Chains A and B, each alone.
Chain A
Amino acid sequence: MLAFGWLAACTSPLATCAVQSCPEPKTLTIFAASSLQPAFGKIGNQFQANEVKAQGHVVNALSFVFAGSQMLTQQLGEGAAADIFASADIAHMTQVNAGGLVASPPRVFAHNRLEIAVARGNPKGIHTLADLARSGLVVVLADPSVPAGKYAAQALKTAGVTVKPASLEQQVTGVLSKVAFGEADAGIVYVSDIITSRQVDGVAIPNDQNVIAEYPIAVLNTGHNQAAAKDFVDFVLSADGQSLLKAAGFEGV
């Protein structure tokens, strides 16, 4: 997960079922922004549990690819086959849509806010975005080509703060790991990252400086499993899906 999104691909464990009556599960490939990893892991498990409840076995083997939205967009543009794309911003979904890859209109399924990630107990006493400009503080941001980096730059600009970042990471999880490892004193990530990581503390950013990220999802026409893709998107938008997203720190729609 440090460098290549492809490494993050994983398949959910299959439920057991009688050997003779068990049809081979079809693969459902989901390209999702890295900030969605914890939430989609849970949603995927619940989606499969529902399949087992309804049909007695797992119908679709879920194959997730988590990476920065910009990287997923590039891979889709180069012809990577996926059934679903979930982006951390509207811009990359628009780009994929413009490439003629989207089967049905994208729908926003979640919102996310920014928060400052600091070490447990906030030893450096960071309370506002302005504190990030303090000299001697090691601050890590996501690269502006990544949605999280773009949003962080917007928030800093609104707050009128100039930060000298030590590094510009290629995905938001890179920012989180640098803070969690203690190599950076602070970083700007999503609220959902802090809630699910449990290794860092969050410092809230006031609403007037914050940016609300919109997460759109769409079924792609490059996939081979469109009916199941639609079911998955419907589940994400259902009350159950939304409550799983909320538990992972997202705001529903």
Chain B
Amino acid sequence: MRRARTPAAIGLLAGLGLLLFVLPLAGLILRAPWSQALAELTDPTTTMALGLSIFCSLTATAIALVLGIPLAMILARTRGTVRNVLRALTTLPMVLPPVVGGVALWLAFGRRGIAGSLLYQAFGIQIPFTTTAAVMAETFVAMPFLVIAVEAGLRSLDHRYEEAARSLGAGYWRVLTRVTLPLLRPAIFSGAVLCWARALGEFGATITFAGNFPGRTQTVPIAVYLALETKPEAAITLSLILLVVSVAILVGMRDRWLGAL
């Protein structure tokens, strides 16, 4: 069967859409202070922000894996209203403006928050302004990406393998670790990578809930935002680093995730 020719108008609009993505990236690359890039890379502010970003985003991903996979398993087992409510709650951080997420975290885990006040009164622990707060903000915003991916993987799983294992006498945990999780590996992997990338780029919830202090809560996106006003070269260099990381992830995942869409 012959495919219909694509009208020129569609091509034109697609081209305009593509330009919207390509031009800002070109701007970043063309205006990058390449000669100073190396000096900026070794600047303590840059290395500290980069180290903190990597630490926080990896920790957030690890927490998302530990909490998100069980959540996805429960989600995949539910139906009807329960499922809709659970799904809405899980995906809420994806649609919520991150700054609003930060305020919500504040009201829950701040010194006067619902849970935070108990923590403060009992142990004198204050979460905001700490690296813990930055990790929590990133987990809050990024975990839905992992949950959604794993849940989709679970729903499309062929459950006959699990039934076969069970009929051969394997217990719940053995089936889970030897059959279910290995079968889910692609979904977990792509979900974790998307989750990590979202955590790495997190800005709004982090700056609201965790504040800004170099080495403690100042991640790369926050450093970019601050440097823009005082040291634009450093801001562009840091942006480029994030750009390179993002492109590397997308290229690396092309077959596993994007190819399947």
Contact = CB atoms under 8 A, between A and B. Distances in A.
A181 B213 contact: no
Contacts of A71: 229
B11 to A, nearest CB: 32
A169 B106 contact: no
Given A138-B129, A182-B112, A3 B99 contact: yes
A106 B155 CA distance: 66
A145 B212 contact: no
Interface of A: 2-3, 68, 70-71, 73-74, 138, 140, 143, 145, 165-170, 178, 181-184
Contact of A3 (B111, B112, B208): B208
Given A181-B106, A182-B111, A183-B111, A169 B211 contact: yes
Given A145-B226, A170-B207, A183-B111, 7 more contacts: A2-B99, A2-B208, A3-B204, A3-B207, A143-B226, A145-B229, A182-B112
A73 B229 CA distance: 8
Contacts of A181: 106, 110, 112
22 contacts: A2-B99, A2-B103, A2-B204, A2-B207, A2-B208, A3-B99, A3-B203, A3-B204, A70-B229, A74-B228, A74-B229, A140-B129, A143-B226, A166-B128, A166-B211, A167-B210, A167-B211, A167-B217, A169-B211, A181-B112, A182-B110, A183-B128
A-B pairs, 4 with minimum CB distance: A167-B211, A166-B129, A70-B229, A182-B112
A249 B107 CA distance: 30
Contacts of B103: 2
Contacts of B99: 2-3
Contacts of B212: 143, 167-170
Nearest to A141: B213
B167 interface: no
Nearest to A165: B213
Interface string B95-107: 0000100110010
A1 to B, nearest CB: 10
B211 to A, nearest CB: 3
B78 to A, nearest CB: 35
B230 interface: yes
B190 interface: no
Nearest to B203: A3
A8 to B, nearest CB: 13
